Amino acid sequence: MMDATEAMALTRSARTVDAGPQPRETLRGAMLAPDPLYKQVKNEIIRSLAQGEWKPGDMIPSEPKLAARYGVGIATIRAAIGDLVAAKVVARKQGKGTFVSLHDERRSIYQFFHVVRNDGVKELPVSDLVSVRKARADGDVSDVLQLPRRPRSPVVFRLRNILRVAGTPVVVSDIVIPAALFPGLNENILRKGGETLYAVYQTHFGINIIRTVEQLRAVKADAFAARVFGLPPGDPVLEVRRVAYTFNDVPIEVRRSRVETKNFYYLLDQGGAR
């Protein structure tokens, strides 16, 4: 359970976005706006992605077509797309075009899974669902997920799962997501073979996780983590508290994970795009 201080530390406000497309004249008047022109164009593209105009795996329009659409030059479009590529929101394919990124295995292992064996080998984990249930959100989780507290506490899904690498349990996680964003979510969907949880969000509910914010610290293993990892209760483990966001900085998921660190370590690679 998060205390109020931790919840506020993880909370990021979502941007306020107009419902309709921004007039081209506004984009042309970039000198009067606080953001550079290419960032305004980038935000327009993100808005279209958030509204589902281009689905995961779709090719977005070519640079000349985007330039005509937004009334800007090719260089501005190229800079906007470059930012989105660096953030792994879209991906360029040589000779084919630019595509909305999918939560495939390669993206999951490099962008969102950071646990590495002590010998330096990084493998995609297998998810083992322990439980899923509906519950009322507590105040701290409501604040982090920006859910209204009145007239009643919002309904959320609470998930518990284990991530295994080559059969060895390495991460246990308690996850909370808003039920309103995941209508029809059930155990069968979550247990669908070969899909990461973020792939389930994207494939079944059209929700793209594009970034995460994490807090790391050493803690004593709770009873569940100790049992799964085969550790004496109270042995140290790494705790990772994560908030995952979709477009426009809208929070989608709160996750508290415990990582077994006798045979694995947590690697954060802050280099450029792969």
Give the span between the Cα atoms of 237 and 219, in whole angstroms. Answer: 6
What does the pLDDT average to over 221-240? 95
CATH architecture of 103-266: 3-Layer(aba) Sandwich (3.40)
In percent, how much of the chain has pLDDT > 70? 82
Beta bridge partners of 235: none
138: Cβ contacts below 8 Å, ≥ 6 apart: 1, 153
Which residue from 131, 124, 107, 115 is spatially nearest to 57, judged by alpha carbons?
A: 107
- The angle formed by the CA atoms of residues 35, 40 and 45, to the nearest 5 degrees, is 155
Q: Return the CATH fold of 24-100.
A: Arc Repressor Mutant, subunit A (1.10.10)
Token pair 């973020």 is found at 198
Which of 229, 163, 238 is CA-nearest to residue 198? Answer: 163
Q: Kindly report, residue by residue over 93-107, the tens digit of the pLDDT.
A: 988 999 988 776 566
What lies within 8 Å, CB to CB, of 249 at 6+ separation is 12, 13, 14, 15
pLDDT in tens, 116-144: 999 988 888 888 999 999 999 988 999 99
- Residue 154: asked if its preceding bond is cis (omega within 30°), the reply is no
> Mean pLDDT, to the nearest integer, of 7-29?
41
- The count of residues in the chain is 274
| Helix (H) / strand (E) containing 65 | helix 63-70
Q: How many helices (H) and strands (E) does the chain have?
A: 10, 10
Give the pLDDT score at 273: 42
Cα–chain-centroid distance for residue 189?
19
* pLDDT at residue 44 tops 80: yes
Residue 165 has pLDDT above 80, yes or no: yes
Predicted local confidence at residue 269, as pLDDT: 74
In the structure encoding, which two tokens stand for residue 73, read together?
Answer: 């030059």
Predicted pLDDT at 13 = 36
Taking residues 250-262, report their average pLDDT: 96
pTM value? 0.73
Looking at per-residue confidence, does 12 or 237 come out higher? 237
For residue 189, give both structure tokens. Answer: 């969907």
Relative orientation angle of helices 37-50 and 63-70, to the nearest 10 degrees: 100
Would you say 86 and 270 are in contact if contact means Cβ atoms under 8 Å apart? no
Q: Up-side HSE of residue 139: CA atoms within 13 Å toward CB?
A: 4
CA dihedral 172, 176, 181, 182 (to 10 degrees): 50
Q: What angle do CA 127, 245, 61 make, to 5 degrees?
A: 100
Domain boundaries in the chain? 24-100, 103-266
